[in-house]
Structure 1
């Protein structure tokens, strides 16, 4: 297993296409090792663009600014990405979807790899669905399979772009808890529109505000995630909602 590590973005600027108007300006963020950092903000403010830049997927965009890792090495090849859509391939079984990263890299899926995939499916309570096709699964099951696929990559940094937003409240709560437990040794960056989710899971939180947007850190809570609802978390959720409402005004 690769150790997780910290990442810093310093004074970044982002604009799309040929426009001179930036989406992000003077953006500075720190993603601490072995912690969850949650990014909140209005739609279109650039949160997902930050994830895509970190993952090397940002196209038709002009980025200026430094991305630093604690070991000085590039991020390429050390990122796992979990999106809002599960992106399971419908013609592959759940187990084959979990192991698909090896195929995409042109590597053989050995019996040892398949056994590793089965162990991960056991961890997400999906071992009995290993040979099922994705279209036979519920939304929660599909995201559990996607989580197992993310874990299979065993990368030190995990980027999560609203992976629980389409789920019902109970399933979302269960998957939040499961993901937090299974990713506890990773550097996780979670984009979410849900203040409750951010407060429950985040060691640190940033709100993207303004136009162009920049990131403002929120005060840290003394309790450790995953958190229960209490007066402190409720107050922070209210503060986030007020700031988001002000930014929409």
Structure 2
């Protein structure tokens, strides 16, 4: 994604594509916001895109529904390249397939909560009785029952964001897009909203693409996480892959303050069993988080066997667990 006076000429020019952001700006007056980013999102997945300010993450999510027109590339949804959709088809996709939750809520101040939540259905042409019934259903789902006749200004920031979430859910989209929706909220309210997203995903199973600059939030919410840097992909993987096997020094620095025991699973710390190891200890799966396994490992008289589908993958004893704990203490010192 290129912004500038000659943006369209950049993607097809191999020489320009080799330039850094700064050099491209100096030479052409153009800025590259997103470059060579490619990923798939599985149905029902929570896919998180994260990075520091200016990394290109918000531009990327807006390209997915063409709120910003990509300079080049493809955006494929259910086999259809959305970049080829005309205005009518694009409106249809936005009304029926996608819904977006923004940081600034975007509520209509002169409308009550009920009509704010029902707005997307109203745009579709759904009758008043039907859209209000659906709106009341999702208002209850997000924990706002009793506030349907309130105005946005009468609600706290967290409650306003729940209204925005309810409005997105009311149209029953296939994909929910979140652009740093909780970054303006107080920490406690932000935690509550994160838990709300987790609960709703568990209940509804919606596909979600979530944009954030907060690594802890990304690790809490994401099935997989794409870390961006200067418009490019720094690393794509699960939370334990990012923490356990960072792709480069940038990612390593990014995850350095995360308590490893809260993210890594037993498969990352187990060791191969030897002939001298007792193999009749307790059994745990490879995807059990180290923090959750610590008490069981330290309480066991013999090493824990890490087993999957009846196959012994390795063992974990006090030494392996304490190495992770010691690493956590060193990082916080």
TM-score exceeds 0.5: yes
Match of 1:233 in 2: 263
What per-residue deviation string (whole Å, max 9, x for no partner) do you get for residues 24-75 of structure 1? 221112222101111111212211111111122105xx52112223443647
Counterpart of 1:192 (choices 193, 200, 212) is 212
Match of 1:16 in 2: 3
Counterpart of 1:170 (choices 178, 188, 202) is 188
Judged with a 3 Å threshold, the aligned counterparts in structure 2 of structure 1 residues 220 and 166 are, in CA distance, closer, same or farther, namely closer
Match of 1:143 in 2: 161
Counterpart of 1:64 (choices 63, 72, 93) is 72
Match of 1:53 in 2: 63
1:102 Cα deviation after fit: 2.6
Question: Partners of 1:212 and 1:35 in 2: how far apart?
Answer: 23
Match of 1:27 in 2: 37
3-state SS, counterpart of residue 180 of structure 1: helix
User: Structure 1: which 5+ runs fail to align?
Assistant: 1-13, 223-228, 236-249
- Pairing 1:204–2:224 present: yes
Tell me which of the two structures has the higher relative contact order, counting C-alpha pairs closer than 8 angstroms and 6 or more residues apart: 1
3-state SS, counterpart of residue 107 of structure 2: coil
Question: Partners of 1:28 and 1:114 in 2: how far apart?
Answer: 39
Question: Partners of 2:158 and 2:46 in 1: how far apart?
Answer: 22
1:21 Cα deviation after fit: 4.4
Contact 2:101 2:176 in 1 (8 A): yes
What per-residue deviation string (whole Å, max 9, x for no partner) do you get for residues 82-122 of structure 1? 000111100000000000113334x1442122111111111
Contact 1:82 1:146 in 2 (8 A): yes
- Pairing 1:39–2:69 present: no
Counterpart of 2:170 (choices 148, 152, 171) is 152
* Structure with max Cα Rg: 2
Higher helix share: 2
Question: Partners of 1:159 and 1:202 in 2: how far apart?
Answer: 13
Question: Partners of 2:160 and 2:31 in 1: how far apart?
Answer: 39
1:20 Cα deviation after fit: 4.2
What per-residue deviation string (whole Å, max 9, x for no partner) do you get for residues 101-158 of structure 1? 13334x1442122111111111111111100010010001101111110100211111
Question: Partners of 1:70 and 1:47 in 2: how far apart?
Answer: 22
Question: Partners of 2:137 and 2:48 in 1: how far apart?
Answer: 28
Contact 2:34 2:60 in 1 (8 A): no
* Count of residues in correspondence between the two structures: 212
Question: Partners of 1:71 and 1:93 in 2: how far apart?
Answer: 39
User: Structure 2: which 5+ runs fail to align?
Assistant: 6-28, 83-89, 242-258, 266-333
Judged with a 3 Å threshold, the aligned counterparts in structure 2 of structure 1 residues 73 and 53 are, in CA distance, closer, same or farther, namely closer
RMSD after superposition = 2.3
Match of 1:113 in 2: 131
TM-score, normalised by the number of residues in structure 1: 0.78
3-state SS, counterpart of residue 66 of structure 1: coil
Match of 2:281 in 1: none
3-state SS, counterpart of residue 73 of structure 2: strand
TM-score, normalised by the number of residues in structure 2: 0.59
Higher strand share: 1
Question: Partners of 2:33 and 2:129 in 1: how far apart?
Answer: 47
Question: Partners of 1:230 and 1:116 in 2: how far apart?
Answer: 43
3-state SS, counterpart of residue 30 of structure 1: coil
What per-residue deviation string (whole Å, max 9, x for no partner) do you get for residues 169-224 of structure 1? 22111111112222342111111011110000000001102x452352134439xx
